[in-house]
Amino acid sequence: MTPGILYISYDGMLEPLGQSQVLAYLKRLAAGRRIHLISFEKAADWAQVAERKRVAADMAGAGIVWHPLRYHKRPSALATAWDIAQGAAVGLWLVLRHRLRIVHARSYVPSVMALALKRLVGAKYVFDMRGFWADERVDGGLWPREGRMFRVAKGFERRFLLGADHVVSLTHAAVREMQCFDYLQGCMPPVTVIPTCADLARFAPQPRESMGVEGARGFVLGYVGSAGTWYLFDEVAACFAQLLRLRSDARFLIVNRGEHAYIRDRLAAAGVPDSVVELTSATHAEVPRLMARMDAGVFFIKPVFSKQASAPTKLAEFLGCGIPCLGNAGVGDMAQVLEAEQVGVALKAFDAASVATGLAQLLALVAEPGTRSRCVTTAQKHFSLDEGVRRYAGIYAQLEPSA
């Protein structure tokens, strides 16, 4: 068996994100490799005893050794500092006890722990950056760009990039941006691009279904996931209102949890009648069945600086189900994937003329017989979980002493 790995995630494994974006990879990477996982679990999730036992058994069956720690939220800075100290202490014990040679840190807070372990015991450090986190805090309105927290976070980002033995980026756009950082000139670390992948065995084409109690087919535009924070839902609502003028048989199927009042308010403000909208909630496992009722997907994301490093999971899931998408430019590699592979349209502006042109292109794509199969092929090429696992395994192989 190859030398062991310590994986640190500040996201909990009892959360959907931890299960789809951490465990999905680690369960495959654990074959022939010892993986110890530190995660930070929220109290409400930990209280779900049956789910906790299920996840623990799932990990144990895959050969992953789980070390769950308690996530602390308040007071914010002190709580995070305590979590970092606790994680670093547990991590140091695990590295020494089990002779783990690689520390894989998912995002920034775990990287503080991982960099400390690298300096203390010489372990190889993988910085799985997941995006420009400090810039996201500014772009999301949580921190001022001139503030102390932003400067401190960017200082840590510099240390992470200079100290990493390997960096994982979600997008090629983020790599191009990092190559322009002054302090990385002549000392750029090895970087592998691994976008947010999807389980394409689950997100795969299914027989088309009708929408509505009377079985009316029409043209179904789909929206899946959050409508707030980074998402431009007002622009989506205006886009669908414009689609209705092009296709009177258009219907809008929205799958969302927790924002239904907000969504209905924004649709009403855009003049979209309730009669053409189906708004529903679903578990992650139920989403592919609902996607089978969609002819195309839509989502717009704020094209701010930090989003150059983002790879929306829903893009992989839509394409895996054979569904072309209407998105926007300025978000990671999304525009390049949509247009170069001819599986969607990326708007460069949201004025009525640009949206009308984009909708016409989308409708033409949906009508092409080969579009669905092209979407699936593109998903397998760019967003396959198998390919993501292969790339992570390649990084570990490069860093393992036996290599």
Asked if residue 208 has pLDDT above 80, the reply is no
Query: Which of 213-227, 312-326, 351-365, 372-386 has the lowest average pLDDT?
Result: 213-227
Q: Read off the pLDDT band of 153 (50, 70, 90).
A: very high
Q: Is 123 exposed, middle or buried (0-12, 13-18, 19+ CB in 10 A)?
A: buried
Q: What pLDDT sits at residue 213?
A: 40
Question: What pLDDT is attached to residue 215?
Answer: 45
The pLDDT assigned to 59 comes to 97
Mind listing the pLDDT tens digit for each residue in 217-232? Answer: 689 999 999 998 899 9
296 and 222 Cβ atoms separated by less than 8 Å:
yes
Rounded to 10°, the helix 233-246/260-269 angle is: 50
Task: Please give the distance of CA 153 from its chain centroid, rounded to a whole number.
Answer: 21
- 102, β-bridge pairs: 5, 124
214 band by pLDDT with thresholds 50, 70 and 90: very low
* pLDDT over 60 (residue 149): yes
Residue 209: pLDDT band by 50, 70, 90 thresholds?
low
Q: What are the pLDDT digits (tens) for 16-67?
A: 889 989 999 999 999 989 999 999 999 999 999 999 999 999 999 999 999 9
Q: What percent of the chain has pLDDT over 90?
A: 89
Check if the beta carbon of residue 67 is closer than 8 Å to that of residue 37: yes
- Which domains are seen in the chain, by residue range? 2-197+385-399 (3.40.50.2000), 219-383 (3.40.50.2000)
